[in-house]
Amino acid sequence: MNLSAKDQTAHAQALAFYHAMRAQPPVKLALRAEDEAALERSRPIRFGPGGSLSARLFGHEGGPLIALMHGWGGQGTQLYRMAMHLAIAGYQALVMDFGNHGEAAPAELGFDRFMIDARALADHLGAMPAAWVAHSAAALAMLSARRTHGLSGKAFITIAAPFTPYVPLNRFRAMGAGEDAVDAVKPMLAQEFACEWDALEAGLAWQRDETARLLAIYDRDDTMVQASDAERIAAVWPDCRIIRTGGYGHNRVLGAGEVMAATLDFLDQTLAEDSVGGEAQPIILS
């Protein structure tokens, strides 16, 4: 297909942006005092190809295992507070660093990175976690990975999750890209989800799972992800539970007391209901 000079320019801009996005340098956030203290209450785990991926396990053997996943540009330390909250309640909380983040090895970035690494975690465990808790880009990737990488669980909890992968598009616009160039990035992002962009807009990643429950949490003051995405999710997964907070923004919402309390309450209710028919054996990590 012959492209006009304008379309060729837009495609070249899109390709350069996309390649730069996937080649971002490793992310390693500074440890807070509370993170240092949390390290002493957890134990490290290496997994994935050549031990390239990193995780921290909080809690004691015997409780259901909950996987906690940071978002793009974050790291597991952002979820240590929630992990300790769950551990005190009797759960095992496994907080992971995705490739190119935190203690994990450098890797090419993309939404597919979260899918691949989440699958690597499940393979390492030898079973699916009882539930997945994920932030931002990882949350969208996690829900999509049910279809693309066979992830499953009894509960999914998403925090500040974009309905589609529009956050990189907004960043591209902020760099001065025109809509022709932005549109040219869409199929590149969609290929990471093994589908067309229109399917993502229609809610493919958020299709209801009759064997699981979904809790979606949004903060009204989030300037990165639209809180109105909650309504789009509800249109696809009608019985999902939605919680809205205010005043925390995109990242601080992870450590908000009301968010941790809602997460624990949702897990308690969901996993208790699931155990009525026979309690599943907990995952024990050696």
Q: Residue 266 is part of which domain span? A: 5-24+52-275
The structure's pTM equals 0.94
Q: Tell whether 112 is covered by a domain.
A: yes
Q: Tell whether 118 is covered by a domain.
A: yes
Q: Which amino acid does the sequence have at 61?
A: E
Q: Tell whether 281 is covered by a domain.
A: no
Residue 285's pLDDT is 58
* C-alpha to C-alpha distance for 285 and 47, rounded to whole angstroms: 12
Domain count, the chain: 1
Q: Tell whether 71 is covered by a domain.
A: yes
The model's pLDDT over 224-252, given as tens digits with 9 standing for 90+, comes to 999 999 999 999 999 999 999 999 999 99
How many Cα atoms are found within 13 Å in the side-chain-facing hemisphere of 117?
36
Residue 30's pLDDT is 95
The model's pLDDT over 51-96, given as tens digits with 9 standing for 90+, comes to 999 999 999 888 999 999 999 999 999 999 999 999 999 999 999 9
Residue 205 maps to which CATH number? 3.40.50.1820
Phi, psi (degrees; rounded to nearest 5) at 222: -75, 120
Q: Tell whether 31 is covered by a domain.
A: no
Q: Tell whether 33 is covered by a domain.
A: no
Which tokens in the block code for residue 34?
Answer: 């509370």
Residue 279's pLDDT is 45
Confidence check: pLDDT of 157 > 50: yes
Q: In the structure, what pLDDT confidence band is assigned to residue 274 with cuts at 50, 70 and 90?
A: low
Q: Which of 57, 56, 82, 209 is nearest to 143 (CA)?
A: 209
